Structure 1
Amino acid sequence: MKYVKEYRDPDKVQGVLQAIKRLGKILIIKKDRPIKLMEVCGGHTHAIFKYGLEELLPPTIEMIHGPGCPVCIMPKGRLDDAIAIAEHPAVIFTTFGDAMRVPGSQFSLLQAKAKGADIRMVYSPLDALEIAKVNPDRQVVFFAIGFETTAPSTALTVLQAESAGIENFSLFCNHVLVVPALEALLSNPDLQLDGFVGPGHVSMVIGTAPYQVIAQKYHKPLVVSGFEPLDLLQAIWMVLQQLADGRCEIENQYTRFVQATGNAVALEAMQRVFQVRDHFEWRGLGDIPHSGLKMRPEYAQFDAEAKFILPHRQVADHKACACGEILKGLKKPWECKVFGTACTPEHPIGACMVSSEGACAAYYKYGRLSLETKAKPTPVATSFVGIRS
């Protein structure tokens, strides 16, 4: 197999691990504590646990899980708004599957569906547009969530709806931006971070240039990474090498897909359809200025927030749920007192346990907590056969 097994080669993994261990020993003497690196993307968190990478890294390196799961950062108030739209009798509400079971203040979209709301799971906004075409007497609303990764496909769908003259299609727009979230994290004095493993999919769209503020203003290195084991380990090594050299730069490990200037077509579509919100609420992170997208006035006909009256309430998270602290990197999932007991993927209390990119879901699936020792979870499943620790 070309270009997959090459990124999972056990001998190459061992070579990179030895280089990481050497740098870790040097850096821990300088820092007098473990080096803390945040992987921003939820896909990276799952890859780290799927392939057992956290167990292979030396104790001098600590990986912190960031707010890169678009479902997890959705506050309960926005979910309540989505449910209010979905419960309208004239509406067919469409959504990605990850969002179906995320609890709102009273119930989830899946429970709203069970109560009679016409809620349908789709794989892309184009699926929602097709539903609108065959149901001209119904309003079809797409629950638009995600970072810059998914925003272009949503924007292109709106442009297609405009071109085709489809008037019964609209978005409930909850797209968010990654760099303002990183700035919010770096402004938190309680969070000590030494560097970032940057998101691969987002960077395919926006490129590497927007991250320059992280190096120039906050003096933290960031390396954009792919999703295979060697991608992640090489990116970690590159961040550590910067720290050892006293450098602070934005580097790109994922060169086979990511360019400095990003994807011009995708960026143009986003710019045409969306504009930046003054404020947007994130679960756990609170209100972050200029961190979300909304429809431009000229596309108000496709804006569900303009078509429907919404509650627009701010709702606090469950008191027992540590999703907010986990998304901020202040806690690990196994430090939440309901993790794996009252909160499971089948019966989630918090969003981090629901999404396929959520940190709690990754810990639950690949690294269950040892309740007896309260130690770092040991992976119980891995598809990365052949790595020697």
Structure 2
Amino acid sequence: MKYLDEYRDREAAEKYINLVKKMVTRQWTIMEICGGQTHAIVKYGLNHLLPYEVNFVHGPGCPVCVTPQELIDKAIAIAEQPDVIFTSFGDMMRVPGTHKDLLMAKSEGADVRMVYSPLDALKLARGHPGKEVVFFAVGFETTAPANAMAVYQASKTGVKNFSILSSHVLVPPAMETILSSPENRVQGFLAAGHVCTVVGYEEYYSLAERYKVPIVVTGFEPLDILQGTYMVLKQLEEGRYEVENQYARVVQSQGNIPSQNIIKKVFRVTDRNWRGVGGIPKSGLELRSEYEAHDANKKFEVNIGEAENSPECIAGEILRGVKKPIDCPVFGTKCTPEHPVGAPMVSSEGACAAYYHYGNYRQRSLQSGTPGQKELQTEKNLGTNQ
């Protein structure tokens, strides 16, 4: 296929849906890792077009959502320092910290700016030598090469007033944490295609073998997801647990070697706390010691106090695939994209935002006080999956 609309072709989609209907013999629970896939599933109604036996749960595939609240608080505290220009992608601007978000800090006088690239922030640093320019480096392996290159360029060219606040996280350790949890119900994965574009998928072989789960690297268009789901279900029905690549037009098994090299040159692997999930060993990236002059964590000493997460928000359970957005007592009422209680409602890749914008669940809950019957029945039958 050559054109985008071919990946949204109705007849081709119906063929995959019918293949799945003929093949499945029992209920299976599949987790898509990337929030972009979550949005596609809900936007195009794939969770309703596929038969009842196919149950999607949504993983920690949104780096904005899993950025710990204490780091949001630290970002705000840094932004409020004198002579600081704090830069970030737009996604992070309205993620709630303990007392405020970055946009609120901006409204109170902090110099907070949205940029489209870390190189934009580096350009700001060159143009404002009397200011400290900080970039909020949030993302999976996908955005790490660009952030690493910005730090490398700053170091190489002697731009000393540029630093990053790193919140990079790594996907495979999070998958293993989910699989090893006693509350796990995931039986197969749609792996994030864009992450694998950078790092490949060779690391997934040991996960599939150790936990007996099929893992299919999958793209983001409706046909990508339908084909990836079919490939996972075929393995499950046949009793196989292998790593397969649906996204072969983009992803190679070894990934992008130059991107991996710049990541390794600038970053090192570290333990990382994930919002709603907890601490995961060797699941993050921090700057190597030779680049610590550009590490905002070390450059700024700020007192942020104790982070306080909302007791009403069940984002952690949603990110671990234990519950869905419709299970949250404040979904669509107290928690909306305009007034988010948790990060998954405000992020452009958050599961709660996807359900709110595309799933029509808010309207259903207002009309009947309950979610759809398929979702309710799915929840009741989850115990038969394991």
Query: 1:195: which partner in 2?
Result: 188
Query: 1:55: which partner in 2?
Result: 48
Query: 2:16: which partner in 1?
Result: 16
Aligned letter for 1:52? G
Query: 1:71: which partner in 2?
Result: 64
User: Cα 1:145–1:119, aligned 2, differ >3 Å: closer, same or farther?
Assistant: same
Secondary structure at the aligned position of 1:192 is classed as coil
Secondary structure at the aligned position of 1:92 is classed as strand
Identity %: 53
Aligned letter for 2:250? F
Question: Of the candidates 307, 310, 324, which is equivalent to residue 315 of structure 1?
Answer: 307
Tell me how far 1:312 sits from its aligned partner.
6.3
| Alignment of 1:44 onto 2:40 | no
Q: Deviations over 1:23-67 (max 9, x none)?
A: 22x2x1xxxxx2100000000000111211111010000000010
| Alignment of 1:299 onto 2:291 | yes
Task: Give me the whole-angstrom Cα distance separating, in 1, the residues matched to 2:137 and 2:42.
Answer: 28
The 8 Å contact of residues 82 and 143 in structure 1, kept in 2 or not, is answered as: yes
The 8 Å contact of residues 75 and 315 in structure 1, kept in 2 or not, is answered as: no
| Alignment of 1:105 onto 2:98 | yes
Task: Give me the whole-angstrom Cα distance separating, in 1, the residues matched to 2:251 and 2:314.
Answer: 34
Aligned letter for 2:371? A
Tell me how far 1:374 sits from its aligned partner.
1.7
Aligned letter for 1:241? K
Aligned letter for 1:8? R
Secondary structure at the aligned position of 1:209 is classed as coil
Secondary structure at the aligned position of 1:291 is classed as strand
The 8 Å contact of residues 235 and 253 in structure 1, kept in 2 or not, is answered as: yes
Tell me how far 1:316 sits from its aligned partner.
4.0
| Alignment of 1:325 onto 2:353 | no
Equivalence map 1:177-256=2 (5 Å): 177-256=170-249
The 8 Å contact of residues 80 and 311 in structure 1, kept in 2 or not, is answered as: no
Q: What is the total number of aligned residue pairs between the two structures? A: 370
Once superposed, which parts of structure 1, at least 4 consecutive aligned residues long, lie more than 2 Å away? 310-316, 375-378
Secondary structure at the aligned position of 2:59 is classed as strand
Question: Of the candidates 366, 372, 375, which is equivalent to residue 376 of structure 1?
Answer: 372
The 8 Å contact of residues 148 and 175 in structure 1, kept in 2 or not, is answered as: yes
User: Cα 1:175–1:314, aligned 2, differ >3 Å: closer, same or farther?
Assistant: farther
Query: 1:366: which partner in 2?
Result: 358
Segments of structure 1 that go 5 or more residues without pairing to the other structure are: 29-33, 379-389
Q: Deviations over 1:275-333 (max 9, x none)?
A: 011x2111111111111110000001111111111346552420111111111111110
Tell me how far 1:160 sits from its aligned partner.
1.4
The 8 Å contact of residues 78 and 312 in structure 1, kept in 2 or not, is answered as: no
User: Cα 1:138–1:261, aligned 2, differ >3 Å: closer, same or farther?
Assistant: same
RMSD of aligned Cα (Å) = 1.4
Tell me how far 1:165 sits from its aligned partner.
1.5
Secondary structure at the aligned position of 2:283 is classed as coil
Query: 1:121: which partner in 2?
Result: 114
The 8 Å contact of residues 185 and 322 in structure 2, kept in 1 or not, is answered as: no
User: Cα 1:315–1:176, aligned 2, differ >3 Å: closer, same or farther?
Assistant: same
The 8 Å contact of residues 177 and 280 in structure 2, kept in 1 or not, is answered as: yes
Secondary structure at the aligned position of 2:225 is classed as helix
Task: Give me the whole-angstrom Cα distance separating, in 2, the residues matched to 1:254 and 1:2.
Answer: 14
Task: Give me the whole-angstrom Cα distance separating, in 2, the residues matched to 1:244 and 1:180.
Answer: 26
TM (normalized to structure 2)? 0.93
Task: Give me the whole-angstrom Cα distance separating, in 2, the residues matched to 1:6 and 1:366.
Answer: 22
User: Cα 1:41–1:313, aligned 2, differ >3 Å: closer, same or farther?
Assistant: farther
Task: Give me the whole-angstrom Cα distance separating, in 2, the residues matched to 1:377 and 1:91.
Answer: 51
Query: 1:134: which partner in 2?
Result: 127
The 8 Å contact of residues 28 and 53 in structure 2, kept in 1 or not, is answered as: yes
Task: Give me the whole-angstrom Cα distance separating, in 1, the residues matched to 2:228 and 2:36.
Answer: 15
| Alignment of 1:262 onto 2:285 | no
Task: Give me the whole-angstrom Cα distance separating, in 2, the residues matched to 1:306 and 1:182.
Answer: 30
Task: Give me the whole-angstrom Cα distance separating, in 2, the residues matched to 1:204 and 1:63.
Answer: 23
- Say which structure is richer in helix: 2
Q: Deviations over 1:142-174 (max 9, x none)?
A: 000000010111001111112222111001011
Tell me how far 1:376 sits from its aligned partner.
3.2
Secondary structure at the aligned position of 1:212 is classed as helix
Task: Give me the whole-angstrom Cα distance separating, in 2, the residues matched to 1:377 and 1:160.
Answer: 54
Task: Give me the whole-angstrom Cα distance separating, in 1, the residues matched to 2:303 and 2:261.
Answer: 32
The 8 Å contact of residues 367 and 377 in structure 1, kept in 2 or not, is answered as: no
TM (normalized to structure 1)? 0.93
Q: Deviations over 1:157-208 (max 9, x none)?
A: 1111122221110010110000011111111111211100010110100101
Task: Give me the whole-angstrom Cα distance separating, in 2, the residues matched to 1:64 and 1:200.
Answer: 17
Tell me how far 1:132 sits from its aligned partner.
0.5
